């Protein structure tokens, strides 16, 4: 089976895409999460030190600060970094729901965003977890409002019990308020209790 689009894909961090691409990505991610959730073969990551050290256990909270970065510098503009605190809760083993809040200021303008999300934590070993997530994000910048579909796929590295760092790819596409999409890599640092 072959998928093709009528628009080219550029490797500059922006992706030209047909409008139905966001719906296809959401459906594929949902199917993957549903199939993984039904698999009993995956146990929570257990670190050998201390008590209650399993990541992605039932009734567990995860606080993280996602530091978004881009590998490009727009012409005439500075590099931008924004802090984006988030809170996730594991409603069942490996299945998380949560959200994020983002506030940005600088350059003569300001913006805010909120986004609920869901994910599935897949252990890849004692100290590594793959935690893909899907999020719907609402943004407000100056007088412009937009809605985006985000897909994130970070690999978490559990350095010590209850603490992790990670990095992974992301993709987002505007669903309303524009026709922009982007991909890149994003870091994450956090803890769980």
Name residue, tokens 């910048």.
141
| pLDDT score at 54 | 81
Chain Cα centroid distance, residue 23:
17
Dig out the tokens for 192 from the structure.
Answer: 């769980």
Q: Do residues 183 and 150 lie in contact, with contact meaning Cβ atoms separated by under 8 Å? A: no
Q: Please write the tens of the pLDDT for every residue from 153-192.
A: 999 999 998 999 999 999 999 999 989 999 999 889 999 9
Q: Percent of the chain, pLDDT > 90?
A: 44
pLDDT tens by residue, 62-83: 988 765 543 434 456 665 556 6
Residue 74 CA to chain centroid, in angstroms? 23
Angstrom distance (rounded) from CA 71 to CA 47:
33
Whole-structure pTM value:
0.67
Helix (H) or strand (E) holding 47: none
Q: 92-111: per-residue pLDDT in tens?
A: 999 999 999 887 765 555 78
Place of tokens 């603490």: 163
In the predicted model, is pLDDT for residue 50 greater than 70? no
> For residues 126-139, b (16+ Cβ closer than 10 Å) or e, as one string?
ebebbbbbbbbbeb
Domains (range + CATH), the chain: 22-70+81-192 (2.40.160.20)
Q: Would you tell me how many other CB atoms lie within 10 Å of the CB of residue 43?
A: 12
pLDDT of residue 39: 46
Q: Token digits for 166? A: 């990670």
**Residues comprising the chain, all counted:** 193
Long-range pairs, 12-21, Cβ under 8 A, ≥24: 12/72, 13/70, 13/71, 13/72, 13/182, 13/183, 13/184, 14/180, 14/181, 14/182, 15/171, 15/173, 15/181, 15/182, 15/183, 16/181, 17/173, 17/181, 19/179, 21/173, 21/181
Of the candidates 95, 89, 96, 156, the one whose C-alpha atom is nearest the C-alpha of residue 127 is: 156
């Amino acid at each position: 089976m072959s998928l093709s689009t009528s628009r080219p894909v550029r490797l500059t961090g922006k992706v030209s895409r047909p409008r139905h691409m966001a719906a296809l990505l959401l459906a594929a991610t949902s199917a993957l999460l549903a199939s993984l959730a039904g698999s009993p073969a995956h146990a929570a990551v257990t670190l050998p030190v201390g008590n209650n050290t399993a990541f992605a256990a039932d009734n567990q909270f995860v606080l993280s600060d996602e530091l978004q970065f881009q590998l490009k510098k727009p012409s005439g503009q500075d590099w931008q970094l924004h802090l984006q605190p988030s809170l996730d809760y594991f409603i069942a083993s490996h299945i998380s729901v949560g959200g994020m809040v983002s506030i940005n200021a600088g350059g003569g303008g300001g913006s805010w965003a909120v986004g609920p999300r869901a994910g599935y934590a897949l252990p890849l070993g004692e100290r590594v977890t793959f935690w893909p997530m899907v999020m719907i994000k609402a943004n407000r910048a100056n007088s412009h409002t937009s809605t985006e579909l985000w897909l994130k796929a970070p690999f978490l590295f559990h350095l010590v019990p209850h603490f992790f760092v990670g990095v992974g790819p992301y993709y987002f596409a505007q669903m309303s308020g524009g026709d922009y999409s982007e991909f890149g890599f994003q870091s994450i640092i956090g803890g769980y209790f």
